[in-house]
Amino acid sequence: MKKEKNQAYCAVDFAFQRIGGKYRGRILWYLNAHKVLRYGELKRLLQGITTKMLTQTLRELEQDGMVNRKVYLEVPPKVEYSLTSASLELIPLINELREWADRQIIARTISGEKIPC
């Protein structure tokens, strides 16, 4: 049976369905920073992600029109991922989210916490 993403109740939900989840945000972020990334490069950047989750997340992003997947018919195989026009529009927003988060983290880091990356 096909997995149906349950209907969003409103636009806010629709947006979060597309950028939420454990890795989506970072994948989009890395793809923007590097413009084009191969599967293995993404895997290295995402440090510790399993092939299952990476593949699954990339396929979902692709279905949502958030990434382009370009397959080169070579041996060994080569697949490149990049942002689409839709996800590119999102980058400035994700960047602002990141800056907001940075400010929050700094405000709390007086007590010692530190967050890498």
Is 87 buried (19+), middle (13-18) or exposed (0-12) by CB count in 10 A?
Answer: buried
The candidate with the shortest Cα–Cα distance to 28, out of 74, 92, 106, is 92
| Contact between residue 61 and residue 94 where contact means Cβ atoms under 8 Å apart | no
| Closer CB to DNA, 32 or 41, in the complex | 41
- The site map against its own copies for 34-63 (x = CB under 8 A) is -------------x----------------
Identify the residue among 5, 15, 44, 56 touching its own copies (CB under 8 A). Answer: 15
The smaller minimum CB distance to DNA, of residues 74 and 113, is found at 74
Contact (CB, 8 A) for 54 and 37: no
Q: Which does 53 bind (CB under 5 to 8 A by kind): its own copies, DNA, none?
A: DNA
Taking CA atoms, 85 is separated from 16, 20, 78, in Å, by 18, 19, 23
Binding of its own copies by 109 (CB under 8 A): no
Return residues touching DNA (CB under 7 A). 3, 21-22, 38-41, 48-53, 55, 57-59, 69, 71, 76-79
